[in-house]
Amino acid sequence: TSPGNTLEQPLASSALTKQQSKKNSGNCGRKKKSAKATKASLQRQTSEEMVIVPRGQNTQNPLYPPSGKSVVVVESVTKAKVIQGYLGDMYEVLPSYGHVRDLAARSGSVRPDDDFSMVWEVPSAAWTHLKSIKVALSGAENLILASDPDREGEAIAWHIVEMLQQQDALHENITVARVVFHEITEASIKVALQAAREIDANLVQAYLARRALDYLIGFNISPLLWRKLPGCQSAGRVQSAALSLICDREMEIDEFKPQEYWTVEAVLDKKESHSLDTFSFPAHLTHFQSKRLNQLSIGSHTEAKDIEQKINSANFQVIKNSKRSMVRKNPTPYITSTLQQDAANKLNFSATYTMKLAQKLYEGVQLPDGTAAGLITYMRTDGLHISDEAAKEIRSLIFERYGSHHAPEEGPRKYFKKVKNAQEAHEAIRPTDIRRLPAMLSGLLDEDCLKLYSLIWSRTMACQMQPATVGQIQVDIGNADESIVFRSSCSRVEFLGFQAAYEDVDAGAIRYKENEENDRHEAFAILNSLKTGDPLYLGEVELKQHHTQPPARYSEGSLVKKLEELGIGRPSTYASTLKVLQ
């Protein structure tokens, strides 16, 4: 039977200290529960009892190599299996299956008038997981809390310690430690165990503050919405702001008044002087009656026909031919929001589905050599930095696959975040081993996981490569007095640079979307052959009707981008926010 005492804890108390309250050991009274009551346990905790450092020792001594039995708690079964394989029999790795308790789903669970005390609820399934941890701690020297390296992970570690203390599962001599790692590889796990620390009180307080705000906004506003707007699901600190953005955009669309406009396009021919060959190229009208045309300059079919008539009676020649090179900058490495945006735009994945696949890649797979490894770094991040060791390895692979001219001479590129609220606590999202090419994982990953891995691999390589160079050519064609001017332009890639990573056959099918558009060597050569004064012959003239378009509705990708720009929400909340709004 699960403990049934009530535990209430103030949010803004000075109790997140290193003082151990012995009252916790007295909070383990048990009583029989009704069938309904066994679903969960409600807890209430006083400020003196809300502690970070549990009974027992807390040390920063290395926990690897092992000196005795250790119990390691992670969040998922998959992660537990992979890490168990790295650490051996002296460590028992167990999953907590996420949070072991949460705010009770009823009114009054956060009490602002009582120092923001909070009432917690423990699901019945969580008692089973806590019991497994308690049993494993028998005879153990260390309890190692290895939940995710973010605010939620810190909170999970703190909740686990709180619950184990209530059950008197932490004996005096046990060492309780918090370790964090950003990728699930053997080296990363063992390095983390050598840098153990205490639970971060500031992160826990930040979690409690956000959890209280979410609850107070949701539980106070949601009932009002249900009364006023039947069918409305709920309100929330982030989701209500996101919904406001969507509603504002919808109002813009409703109020939009489309305007008619026309464009004039023509095909121009050039005859070779020494042969009967003729080549053609398209152009669009930019000037009429010596005035530059803007989008709405030609407002009706009558105006367009009048212009067409004047064009047909004119003779044309090349009046200007200009060329220039343009540098196309590298993309930055992926963070949570940009991964969700790219996966939506290129793969048609929802934000929730993208995070589900990324979680699989992070937790790891069984490799052909029998070992298991996480394939990408932690996927909830707003940091753009890449570790020096990883950047060095990426640079080495660029030299091998594409040549030294594809890598910057000044060394690895460093990126910095410019978005509001960026905490940059973690690395950017990258493969844990850049030499593990997407082609090597074919057959080990399902199709969608492989697509997402390919996207991450290519982006990681690209961010450390040289920019691409694009050649642009622009030809202006005019009548005798240049009162009528057409323009034709074209571009082609002169140096692939970072785009070579997207062309890599071992990177899978995710190709840089603009590469096909730039494959216009023939058109480029035609325009390049034209010289000022060359006579041209007017071919077909086409009048096209258009209407101005309202602002586009938000897609998942564009909404995430807007939320990030405005500093609304965190990497961990984007997917869940979008799911609720749908």
CB atoms within 10 A of CB 450: 21
Helix (H, G, I), strand (E, B), or coil: what is residue 273? coil
Say what angle helices 388-402 and 447-463 make with each other, to 10 degrees: 90
Active site residue 502: no
- Helices (DSSP H) in 104-176: which residue ranges? 124-136, 151-166
What's the CA gap between 143 and 69, in Å, rounded?
9
Contact between 471 and 524 under an 8 Å Cβ cutoff? The reply is yes
Contact between 489 and 283 under an 8 Å Cβ cutoff? The reply is no
| Active-site choice (261, 378, 402, 502) | 378
The two three-digit tokens of residue 79, written as one number: 């992660």
The two three-digit tokens of residue 581, written as one number: 């709004």
Contact between 472 and 324 under an 8 Å Cβ cutoff? The reply is yes
DSSP-assigned letters across all residues of 360-410: HHHH-EE-TTS-EE--B--SS-------HHHHHHHHHHHHHHH-GGGS-TT
Helix (H, G, I), strand (E, B), or coil: what is residue 535? strand
What's the CA gap between 241 and 214, in Å, rounded?
12
Report how far apart, in Å, the C-alpha atoms of 473 and of each of 380, 411, 464 are.
43, 32, 29
Question: Torsion angle, CA of 224/227/232/237, rounded to 10 degrees?
Answer: 0
Contact between 334 and 428 under an 8 Å Cβ cutoff? The reply is yes
The residue type of 433 is D
What's the CA gap between 78 and 360, in Å, rounded?
9
Distant-in-sequence, close-in-space partners of 357: CB < 8 Å, separation ≥ 6: 349, 448, 449, 452
Sheet strands (E) in 53-160: 70-74, 91-95, 102-103, 110-111, 117-123, 142-145
Active site members:
378
